[in-house]
Structure 1
Amino acid sequence: MAGLMAKWRLNNLFVKLMICFWLVSGLSIGGLLIAQKLSSQEPLQAIDPIELRILNRIAERVERMPLRALHKFDISREVEARFPNMPEGFKPPRFVLLDSQGETLTGRRAPRSVSFFRVVREENQLAEPASYQFRRERVFGPQIVTISGQDYELYGRIDRPPPKPKLYQWLDRTELLLGLALLLSGLIYGALAWHLSRGLRSLRHSAERIAAGELAHRSEASVRARGDEIGQLAQAFDQMGDSVQAMMQSQQRLMSDISHELRTPLTRLQLALAIAKKKGQESKELARMGYETEQIEQMIQELLQLSRTSLQASEDKQRCRLSDTLAGVLDDAVFEAEQQKISLQHSVDADPELAHSPKLIGRAVENLLRNAIRYANSAVYLRQYIEDESLVIEVSDDGPGVEPDQLEQIFQPFYRPSDARERESGGAGLGLAICAAAVKGHGGQIKADRGEHGGLRVRLELPL
């Protein structure tokens, strides 16, 4: 029983939808019932004796006139003349003669109020004169008038506000009633849609941040505190984030542990080679072994650096200018480029404050500059500018570049785009992977293409 009650608690999303549906339906039905109740005050009533007396006198006057004279006959003046003691400001009734087709003597259509009155009389099968309230006008009649042997219907119209509540005047207008129903239902369903979409938007934002590399990010507390299915989804989302972060950290620690463990036998091997050289045991084989151990040592260092970068990328960042971060990196790069007789050109179009890890971003740019200096023919270019709310760091060279079909893969660990390039550089294919890990840890992007100088161009995009 408790489980059933928990399933149908008020915070349940299904219950919320049903409540809104019932609320809109209840308002609609209630509005119809109110309109029906108000409309039950029948606008068709018995004719007032004064109205009947006026109608009879006008009918007598009209019957004595020839048909041709009726076109110029002003009935309103006739009423004023026959009833001189009417209150000040009182507007005399307006009269209209209709033939059997419902048309006036001039062939025009009858006023709308009179047409409605005639339809109501036919529906109610009335034979005697009556009175009908049409909005702010009262219609009474008809009185049969015989002119030149033909029967006409004489109707009177007088301006008179309806004796019903003002609400009925609104509900009596179909377009206003429909607009009110649409407005109320729109407000209710709009509030429900906003309530539901707010939590979903927050979850989408959290998913985007985790996808950008912020594995420590979790959903908002207000979303988790919701008692409906969206709140349960947020809790499951956070559990998934915890599991993914734990697995990634475990994998990175495993890589770091393996690298550390490899250093012990490697150190022993290097020590044995040093002892052999000290004893004068020189040979091509020993020289080759020394070279390979240095390569393994470099690979282990890069693996440790990649592991540390992945672990530290989401840690606390400092807000400072990139020029301060790259000052030392640029000095070292300029010195290294001069030794290789390479020109390093640096341009800064924008230098805003940026929340970042100076150590990781500095190391990433350093790797890119060294890679560019290694393969450049004569020049390396470093640009810094703002584009689409991101700070862009662009490193390019005039070297041989990379084939277009390999540009997306060069940021993968141990990927080697060219055997000749790797044999020349002696790299293990981890430098660009370290750069990618640092940039993604800051919620940014790293891209590569062929630059305008013919060589490889790498763009780091860091969100401002």
Structure 2
Amino acid sequence: MTLPKLNSLYGRIFAIFWLTLAVIVVGVVIFPNMDPRKSRHIPPEMFQHMIDSRDMLMGRFSDVDDLNWILHQMRERPGPRGPRDKHRPDFFITTLDGNILSPQIRPEFKYRALKNFTSIAEFSEKPQQKAYGKYQIAGPFPIILAKQQLLLFVGVDFEGPPPFLIQLFDHPLQLLLLVMVVSTPFLLWLAWALSQPAQRFAKAADRVAQGNFVVDPELEKGPSEFRSAGHSFNQMVGAVNAMISGQQRLLSDISHELRSPLTRLRMATGLAARKQGESVELERIDTEAQRLEQMIGELLELSRMQTDSHMSREIQPLSSLWEELLSDAQFEAEQLNKVLRYDDIPDVRISGNPKLLMSALENIVRNAIKYGKDVVDVAFVVNQQKLMVTVQDNGEGVPDSELEQIFRPFYRVSTARDRSTGGTGLGLAITESAIRQHSGSIKASRSGLGGLQVQFTLPLQG
């Protein structure tokens, strides 16, 4: 089987899975078997040492036939009141069926430990060992003393594992909790390894949703699957950039090329009027030519604003964008004997193309000044990192059936906002395009003042 590489997402998951499984196996299966209070096999080095001790005893008492004397000698300690040598083992002798022959085993806990061990020891198996607190007994080892076949058990002082390990041995749930604690860092690392590239993708997607088409090299880092996806994402962003720029330049080129024949048309109309005199037909031709020229001019302006606008993004305060614009609009309204009222501009920052953002509000405000009777209100509301701008006038308004149509290019209603006003129907279309490019929304409704109300929402910079 070919193992996956660790630089891939699957490889990391594969490695963490097996590592976690190994921790669980060690913790739940192997670790409890290390409990010294359970009977277990004697390590080879210790086993050999005990065999040597047995052979030493058999050699020492090989010529003695008195078993009681041998047992008494094995119980003796050097120096009746001297310090006990904790490294010296205790030797106990039993019959083949487990009856204890060693006399006067002291202290009492040693006797109880030996009694318990001889009752559970499998004499037909290899010698084993088991701990009783800080005392450990091993055996049985076949031994011949006083020409009798007997069994030897060896007791030694035993430091034992730390108390917290004993606690874990006695409480499986705590052991399972420890295994979980040990494996948690590996799982957290895996979660971090997965979440970091995913968060980078989420931020990149948010930028694209806001119209900010920027190639991010950080997307091509991390596991191989994310690197591949990041590379494809950056290629897509580059392709979208090229497509949008190409379309906008095409619109600009077409609009520019239309101006030349239009200029010649107006010159020909002027020459015809000079030769033949003024007529209603020539005036109509000239009027439509002027409107066409105005329309082309606005298309060129829209094209200039939108060309690479998705790549020209800045973060700046709202006041730097709209304060002077509203002040100028207020002055112009006063010249028409109208009143423009607006709230203080919120002290917040916004990310976007300055020209488009300025044009968005300017078109709505000038439209309201143009068609309102004498009052125009501009209100700002900030809520949950969103800015809501409301512009309303007290003009004749727009029929409810046409409210959704006024943002279409070249669309004009047939009431007071008709061809006699000289509009081209591009102002609100430019506004709608600018708002949409900044991940905002815009809608029109009946104003509380009786005219038209235009309201748009934009996301703010956090």
Q: Same fold (TM over 0.5)?
A: yes
- How many angstroms does 1:191 deviate by? 2.1
1:353/1:34 CA distance change after superposition, 3 Å: closer
1:229 is displaced (CA, Å) by 0.6
1:232 Cα deviation (Å)?
0.9
Matched ranges for 1:420-431 at <5 A: 421-431=417-427
Match of residue 243 from structure 2: 247
**Cα distance per residue 1:17-71 (max 9 Å; x no partner):** 1111111111111223432431364279xxxxxxxxxxxxxxxxxxxxxxxxxxx
**Counterpart-to-counterpart distance in 2, 1:405 and 1:189:** 58
Counterparts in 2 of 1:183 and 1:450: CA distance versus 1, 3 Å = farther
1:203 to 201, 204, 208: 201
Q: CA deviation at 1:309?
A: 1.9
**What residue is the counterpart of 1:57 in the other structure?**
none
Letter in 1 for 2:295: M
CA–CA distance in structure 2, aligned partners of residues 329 and 277 of structure 1:
41
Structure 1 residue 242 displacement after superposition: 0.9
In structure 1, what is the Cα distance between the partners aligned to 2:244 and 2:352? 21
Change over 3 Å in CA distance of 1:361–1:343 after alignment to 2: same
The match for 1:37 among 19, 33, 36 is: 33
Change (3 A) 1:286 1:456: same
CA distance in 2, matches of 1:190, 1:418: 65
Partner residue, 1:169: 167
Distance verdict in 2 for CA 1:23–1:268, change over 3 Å = same
Matched to 2:291, the amino acid is: Q
Give the corresponding residue for 1:292.
Answer: 288
The equivalent residue for 1:186 is 184
Counterpart in 2 of 1:347?
A: 343
Q: Residue 42 and residue 237 in structure 1: after superposition, are their counterparts in 2 closer, same or farther (change >3 A)?
A: same
The alignment partner of 1:456 has SS state of: strand
Q: Figure out how many residues of one structure are paired with residues of the other and give that number.
A: 358
Whether the aligned pair in 2 keeps the contact of 1:444 and 1:463 (CA below 8 Å) is no
Identify which of 204, 208, 231 aligns with 1:235.
231
Matched, 1:12 2:8: yes
Provide the residue aligned with 1:380 in structure 2. 376
C-alpha contact (below 8 Å) 2:319/2:346 kept by paired residues: no
Q: Is the 8 A contact 2:28 2:175 kept in 1?
A: no
Moved more, 361-370 or 416-425: 416-425
Query: 2:197 & 2:322 partners in 1: Cα distance?
Result: 40
C-alpha deviation, 1:402, in angstroms: 4.2
Contact 2:388 2:455 in 1 (8 A): no
Do the aligned partners of residues 311 and 298 (structure 1) sit closer, same or farther apart at CA in structure 2, a change above 3 Å counting?
same
Deviation at 1:198, TM superposition (A): 1.7
Q: Report if aligned partners of 1:396, 1:457 keep a CA contact under 8 Å in 2.
A: yes
Query: In the alignment, what sits opposite 1:96?
Result: none
Do structure 1's residue 24 and structure 2's residue 20 form an aligned pair?
A: yes
- How far the C-alpha of 1:269 sits from its partner, in A, is 0.5
Residues 437-461 of structure 1 deviation map (CA, whole Å, 9 limit, x = unaligned)? 3344455544444443342222352
1:214 correspondence with 2:177 = no
Q: Say if 2:327 is the partner of 1:309.
A: no
Instruction: Check if 1:329 corresponds to 2:325.
Output: yes
Aligned to 1:456: 453
Look up the equivalent residue of 1:214 and give its one-letter code: N
Describe the shift of the 1:326–1:165 C-alpha distance in structure 2 as closer, same or farther (beyond 3 A): closer
User: Does structure 1 conserve the Cα–Cα contact (< 8 Å) formed by 2:212 and 2:313?
Assistant: no
Superposed counterparts of 1:355-366, under 5 Å: 357-366=353-362
Structure 2: segments with no counterpart, 5+ residues = 41-112, 123-129, 135-157
Q: In the alignment, which residue of structure 2 is the partner of 1:281?
A: 277
Question: Do the aligned partners of 1:224 and 1:235 also contact (CA within 8 Å) in 2?
Answer: yes
Amino acid at match of 2:293: E
- Alpha-carbon offset, residue 224 of structure 1: 0.9
Q: What percentage of residue pairs aligned between the two structures are identical?
A: 36
Q: Counterpart of 1:47? A: none
CA contact (8 A) 1:313 1:437 kept: no
TM-superposed deviation, 1:257 = 0.9
Tell me: CA distance 1:415–1:168, structure 2 relative to 1, closer, same or farther (3 Å): farther
Question: Are the equivalent residues in 2 in contact too, given 1:322–1:353 (CA < 8 A)?
Answer: yes
Equivalent position of 1:88 in the other structure: none
- The answer (yes or no) to whether the contact 2:323–2:345 under 8 Å persists in 1 is no
Instruction: State the alpha-carbon separation in 2 of the partners of residues 415 and 236 from structure 1.
Output: 39
Change (3 A) 1:411 1:37: same
Match in the other structure for 1:76: none
Between the aligned partners of 1:403 and 1:187, the Cα distance in structure 2 is: 64
Instruction: Measure, in 1, the Cα distance between the counterparts of 2:361 and 2:11.
Output: 55
TM-score (norm 1): 0.66
How many angstroms apart in 1 are the aligned matches of 2:167 and 2:301?
80
Superposed displacement of residue 339, structure 1: 4.6
Change over 3 Å in CA distance of 1:417–1:233 after alignment to 2: farther
Q: Specify the alignment match of 1:61 in structure 2.
A: none
Q: Which amino acid in structure 1 is aligned with residue 454 of structure 2?
A: R
Go from structure 1 to structure 2 and tell me whether the alpha carbon gap of 1:15 and 1:313 turns closer, same or farther (over 3 Å shift).
Answer: same
CA distance in 2, matches of 1:10, 1:321: 46
Separation in 2 of the partners of 1:459 and 1:11? 47
> Normalized against structure 2, the TM-score is what?
0.66
Tell me by how many angstroms 1:392 deviates: 4.1
Q: State which drifts further: 369-378 or 232-241.
A: 369-378
Q: Is the 8 A contact 2:310 2:353 kept in 1?
A: no
- 2:270 matched to 1:261? no
The aligned counterpart of 1:397 is 393
Residues 316 and 134 of structure 1: is their aligned pair in 2 closer, same or farther, counting only changes over 3 Å? farther
